[in-house]
Amino acid sequence: MVNLAGRVVLVTGASQGIGRACALELAKAGARVALAARNEGKLAEVAAEIADAGGAADPFPLDIGNEESIKACARSVVARYGKLDILVNNAGITRDGLSMRMRRSDWDDVLNTNLTGAFLLTQAVIPCMLKARWGRIVNITSVVGETGQAGQANYAASKAGLIGLTKSLARELASRTITVNAVAPGYIETPMTAVLDDKQREAMLANVPLARPGTDADVAHAVAFLASEEAAYITGHVLDVNGGMYMG
């Protein structure tokens, strides 16, 4: 069983979906969890849910698309706990549309939030991990970052970029016992996929050998493992959680 007692974890996009599930799972493993997102009301609800289960979590406001908000969040977390051991870069958005019609703002917003935001937050917390000579960084990418997806050039590019960032950081930080890995979910039932209609859902499931959508808990279990001591010899890896949708 994963044991993260004494560890401090920061999870972005923690107010719902995969981020919420990761926060719950990491708290269950004994970590103190910093919950970060824009919706402070929902963060408070997640913090209360964790407390009711015997865990510990605190909300921190974060707009991952704003550099000053990113820096302020990182400072606040370290000031509160005195350290930061594990970072889960989960926050992300979509702005779907065919490339030939995609607005520049939709491209910029997705890249800025999903990729640049993750880079800036990682950059902000690395010094703390370097000082401790220990750390875990887990980036939530996507199966479409590995396969591409029509109508999601911006989203796929941002998630493919996260994979490249993961591998580069893994090489840079390995000497300080800091591992950097990614989890690539496939079709997972979350608020982001709730907008799909029945035809779209059927089309997605037709490409999943396990013939079911994944759950946010499926992803959270993978994240908890990569954050643990049991994964100490794994770095620069992309762990696919997709029911066989993509076998790279």
Cβ-proximal residues to 4 (8 Å cutoff; 6+ apart), any chain: 26, 29, 30, 31, 86, 224, 227, 228
Catalytic residue, candidates 81, 155, 233, 246: 155
Show the 3-state SS of 33-71. EEEEECCHHHHHHHHHHHHHCCCEEEEEECCCCCHHHHH
The verdict on whether 246 is a catalytic residue reads no
Helices (H), the chain: 17-28, 40-52, 67-81, 104-111, 117-132, 144-147, 153-173, 198-205, 216-226
- Rounded Cα–Cα distance for residues 239 and 149 (Å): 19
Distances (CA, A) of 35 to 12, 73, 213: 7, 10, 26
The residues annotated as belonging to the active site are 155
